[in-house]
Structure 1
Amino acid sequence: MTSVTELAYIGIEASDLDAWERFGVDLMGMQKSERSDGVLALRMDDKAHRWIIVGGDADDLAFTGFACANDADLDDIVAGLRAAGTEVSEGAADLAAARRVDRLFVTTDPVGNRVELIVGLADADTPFRSETLLSHFVTGDGGAGHEFLMERADRQEILDWYGILGFKITDFIKEQVAPGVYADAVFTHCNGRHHSVAWADMPFPKRLHHFMIEVGDINDVGLAYDRCMDAKQPFEMTLGMHPNDEMFSFYVRTPSGFNIEYGWGGLIIDEATWEIKHLDKLDSWGHRAPQVVADLLQP
């Protein structure tokens, strides 16, 4: 079956690009690619960009770019979406140039999120260089990372739609987080990364709960944790580990109000042998809310 190969880039509409530049470069360890005309582009590797932040009031997810291996695969996926009744339009040349891709189609998923299907994300003119990382961001075959989105539509409709893109279910987690309140999530993959897109039915005001970026050295997680703490950047969750993707990570609030999961050691799955799991805990340990930790530390 034809499939997208990776989550290639993410777009954010943000009200404070200066804050995003400080956050992305100084705290997260990314490299600035571009800053002009109300656009901030950030690099995580040798690609031209992985984050595109555009000026605006939404402070939320603006678009997600999924890459295809070649033109034929892109055309097959577009045809599949159209056959299923989804409107898909080809991006104009100026949009493709802005995204630094060879070809681009634009559509909308069942929740209303803008999806860009692309071929040929360009390499940057210079090698990636971070001023803060000891190691590197883990991208490559796994793409830029994963996004954790709010469901806000029929789950099966969402899964069927993303199935046309080639996404397959990895596992499910449903945990009671308060009396009568559940976090109910499904995780999907399009390559060896445990999940590139996850969906959850849980209270959260944004379209995007978090985007995960992964580093190649566990020490980079600790150093980023300290940088965020020293900068008094609000935390969503402290250090911890998930039982499904085995990611050691923390969650920090972005200038737009959703979160970055900053992690190390994520599971790579083997599609040929993977079996879907149903779990009842979001965390193996840790990932506590900062106020809970503060209360526990009181004498």
Structure 2
Amino acid sequence: MAICALGYLGVRSDRLDDWADFAGKLLGMQKIDRGSKALAFRMDDQMQRLLVSDEDGDTLAFMGWEVERQDDLQRYAARLDKAGVPVHLGTKELCDRRFVESLVWFEDPMGNRVELFHKPMIASDPFVPGRPIDGFMTGPLGMGHAVLHVKNIEIMMPFYRDLLDFRVSDYGLKPYGLYFFHVNDRHHSFAMVGSGQAGFHHFMVEFQNLDDVGQGYDLAQQEDGRVAYTLGRHTNDYMTSYYANSPSAFFVENGWGGRIIDPPSWEPHETHDGPSFWGHERLYLSEEGGRKRLRDMRLEAAANGRRAPPVAECPWLYNQLAKQGK
């Protein structure tokens, strides 16, 4: 029994035109019209990875997590039901809208809708990106990762770790609680920010080519206020990325070169160097609101010689060595 990938995300927003430009022209996804009230986007051969519905809220509507086998849905449903979590069977209409064979859905302790599904539908026509890119790192790694704001990590942790089998990759306690979880070889497919807030912090898409990130960064800088974090590199998953302000009240991380791990041998651990080796200046924050504190952590990490292992400079080679256990 296993949840194996982040399969899709849903967003509520009444700014469909803005999302069409953002997800298509900046992120490079393929736009698929779903009538006047919704837009869908492809990232690969799957029929749908992102769905934006014309609804009030401007935030996360649902997360779709793929399971390995059909009977995993019943097993998770039984486990959640035993823990007192109401579980709902997805109707045929809902499965058709999600382009999956079957699903169940429920809410986490903070009211975020979670859908577990089996067997996504594969498109018959090839993926056509919204701008010239080499493509996204998806396949067995899933669509990317999703990160939630949480008011109380002590309540959310056992839900995702113990009931849903998300495995801790690492965690940091300064400048605030950050917990990262893996469900496949991607360093993390899910994370929680202990900000004391509720809602969606960001989702990440990983490009196959660093130049696709850089060219997107150039495009984002042509729009006032589009860049939320400058180009930088994370300390735990070695991702080189920038963050864009989406048309809704959350960010989208545009990354390349993410760390591949070996889940059976991986040991969760605490990190102490802050979120980034360099860059990722939080343009949306004031100096007093945390921007200086995070910058000082990066400067301290640099002064202490912290950096990613040299082999991570070549993600392909890093992935090959990781598979061989080297």
* TM-score normalised per structure 1: 0.91
Counterparts of 2:193 and 2:8 in 1: how far apart (Å)? 21
Counterparts of 2:285 and 2:59 in 1: how far apart (Å)? 26
- Alignment partner, residue 218 of structure 2: 226
- Alignment partner, residue 80 of structure 1: 79
Match for residue 159 of structure 2 among 152, 158, 161: 161
1:136-159 CA-to-partner distances (Å, cap 9, x unmatched) read 111111101101101123x23322
Once the 2 structures are TM-superposed, how far is the Cα of residue 291 of structure 1 from its aligned partner?
7.0
User: In structure 1, the residue corresponding to 2:10 is in which secondary structure?
Assistant: strand
* Residues 151 and 203 of structure 1, relative CA distance in 2, 3 Å threshold: closer
Aligned pairs for 1:179-190 (under 5 A) are: 183-190=176-183
- Alignment partner, residue 289 of structure 2: none
- Alignment partner, residue 61 of structure 1: 60
Counterparts of 2:151 and 2:2 in 1: how far apart (Å)? 24
User: In structure 2, the residue corresponding to 1:47 is in which secondary structure?
Assistant: coil
* Residues 291 and 73 of structure 1, relative CA distance in 2, 3 Å threshold: closer
Q: Which amino acid aligns with 1:38?
A: K
Counterparts of 1:201 and 1:46 in 2: how far apart (Å)? 35
- Alignment partner, residue 179 of structure 1: none
- Alignment partner, residue 11 of structure 1: 10
Q: Which amino acid aligns with 2:177?
A: D
Counterparts of 1:172 and 1:292 in 2: how far apart (Å)? 23
Count of matched residue pairs:
287
- Alignment partner, residue 255 of structure 2: 263
Once the 2 structures are TM-superposed, how far is the Cα of residue 233 of structure 1 from its aligned partner?
4.9
1:60-109 CA-to-partner distances (Å, cap 9, x unmatched) read 00100011112111211111111111100101111111111111111001
Counterparts of 2:69 and 2:33 in 1: how far apart (Å)? 27
Counterparts of 2:44 and 2:64 in 1: how far apart (Å)? 16
User: In structure 1, the residue corresponding to 2:146 is in which secondary structure?
Assistant: strand
Please list every run of 5 or more consecutive structure 2 residues that lacks an aligned counterpart in the other structure: 287-291, 293-326
* TM-score normalised per structure 2: 0.84
1:167-206 CA-to-partner distances (Å, cap 9, x unmatched) read 1111001223xxxxxx2110011111111110011266x6
Once the 2 structures are TM-superposed, how far is the Cα of residue 290 of structure 1 from its aligned partner?
3.1
Once the 2 structures are TM-superposed, how far is the Cα of residue 15 of structure 1 from its aligned partner?
1.8
Quote the sequence identity (%).
36
Aligned pairs for 1:282-293 (under 5 A) are: 282-290=275-283
Q: Select the structure with the greater relative contact order (CA < 8 A; seq sep ≥ 6).
A: 1
| Residues 105, 114 of structure 2: 8 Å contact kept | yes
Once the 2 structures are TM-superposed, how far is the Cα of residue 219 of structure 1 from its aligned partner?
0.5
Counterparts of 2:91 and 2:27 in 1: how far apart (Å)? 32
Deviates more, 1:134-143 or 1:258-267: 134-143
- Alignment partner, residue 116 of structure 2: 117
Alignment RMSD = 2.0
- Alignment partner, residue 311 of structure 2: none
Aligned pairs for 1:13-28 (under 5 A) are: 13-28=12-27
Counterparts of 2:158 and 2:226 in 1: how far apart (Å)? 36
Q: Which amino acid aligns with 1:238?
A: T
Counterparts of 1:37 and 1:26 in 2: how far apart (Å)? 20
| Residues 7, 142 of structure 2: 8 Å contact kept | yes
- Alignment partner, residue 248 of structure 1: 240
Q: Which amino acid aligns with 1:187?
A: F
Once the 2 structures are TM-superposed, how far is the Cα of residue 132 of structure 1 from its aligned partner?
1.8
Structure with bigger helix share is: 2
Q: Which amino acid aligns with 1:289?
A: R
Deviates more, 1:271-280 or 1:216-225: 271-280
Once the 2 structures are TM-superposed, how far is the Cα of residue 57 of structure 1 from its aligned partner?
1.6
Q: Which amino acid aligns with 2:19?
A: W
| Residues 15, 256 of structure 1: 8 Å contact kept | no
